[in-house]
A and B are shown apart, each in its own frame.
Chain A
Amino acid sequence: DQQVKQNSPSLSVQEGRISILNCDYTNSMFDYFLWYKKYPAEGPTFLISISSIKDKNEDGRFTVFLNKSAKHLSLHIVPSQPGDSAVYFCAAKGGSNYKLTFGKGTLLTVNP
């Protein structure tokens, strides 16, 4: 039972354009959401997060949007750079639970 879904296994964009990565969740108890970036042969690196009391969080080129009614979040990267090419994981947790539930990841390729 996948509680966090990233339906696009891969995404390819041109350098300088916007990258939009999507994530859907089913568990209404989730109240904190994170995006991680992972390069090959490395561990996931924390990128940006958002709590359920917000609908947008911005950090430089990265913005995460949360639509609670649709149980959907997205990560926008503007402008995209070749160094952004990596696998992006969406993750969620609920309440006082330590456990993070991850999506399967989306491989982003930014072409020069």
Chain B
Amino acid sequence: DTAVSQTPKYLVTQMGNDKSIKCEQNLGHDTMYWYKQDSKKFLKIMFSYNNKELIINETVPNRFSPKSPDKAHLNLHINSLELGDSAVYFCASSQGDRGLGETQYFGPGTRLLVL
């Protein structure tokens, strides 16, 4: 009963393809996030949804489009994949009350390699 799960765990694809990564949380949280960990190992926020509403949208190419069908799911679709998109993508969730004590819980990551 994984709290935050992602599929697939590994994704190898060619440049120019379109791919999706799925995330689900069973913690009953209201807020979900996508992070990218690049080759320099920085974990950077990309998007966040609270109750299916986009609340954080960092400077990310518009080839990346998050979709939240319900508050337990946040999927990431990437169009026209580029070599620089190769990274580990982490999904996370939190209660979403924004107060002190707000802790984010992470999924296992999706390792994307664009060839």
**A: which residues have CB within 8 A of B?**
31-32, 34, 36, 41-46, 49, 51, 53, 87, 89, 93, 96-102, 104-105
**Are the CB atoms of B98 and A104 closer together than 8 Å?**
no
Q: Shortest Cβ distance from A61 into chain B, in angstroms? A: 19
**Are the CB atoms of A98 and B55 closer together than 8 Å?**
yes
**Are the CB atoms of A41 and B109 closer together than 8 Å?**
yes
22 contacts between A and B (CB under 8 A): A32-B101, A32-B102, A36-B106, A41-B108, A42-B108, A43-B4, A43-B90, A43-B108, A44-B43, A46-B104, A46-B105, A49-B103, A51-B100, A96-B98, A96-B99, A98-B31, A98-B48, A99-B48, A100-B104, A101-B45, A102-B43, A102-B44
> How many angstroms between the C-alpha atoms of A45 and B40 in the bound complex?
20
> How many angstroms between the C-alpha atoms of A44 and B108 in the bound complex?
8
Chain B residues contacting A43 (CB-CB under 8 Å) are 4, 90, 92, 106-109
Q: Which of B35-78 contact A (CB under 8 A)?
A: 40-45, 48, 50, 55-56
For residue B94, CB closer than 8 A to chain A, the reply is: yes
Q: Shortest Cβ distance from A93 into chain B, in angstroms? A: 7
Chain A residues contacting B56 (CB-CB under 8 Å) are 98-99
Q: Shortest Cβ distance from A37 into chain B, in angstroms? A: 11
Chain B residues contacting A104 (CB-CB under 8 Å) are 40-42
Chain B residues contacting A31 (CB-CB under 8 Å) are 100
> How many angstroms between the C-alpha atoms of A33 and B99 in the bound complex?
12
> How many angstroms between the C-alpha atoms of A85 and B50 in the bound complex?
34
Q: Can you list the 5 inter-chain pairs with the closest CB atoms, starting with the nearest? A: A43-B106, A102-B43, A96-B98, A51-B100, A44-B106
Question: Contact partner of B103 among A46, A97, A102, CB < 8 A?
Answer: A46
Chain A residues contacting B94 (CB-CB under 8 Å) are 98
**Are the CB atoms of B96 and A32 closer together than 8 Å?**
no
Closest to B90 in A: A43
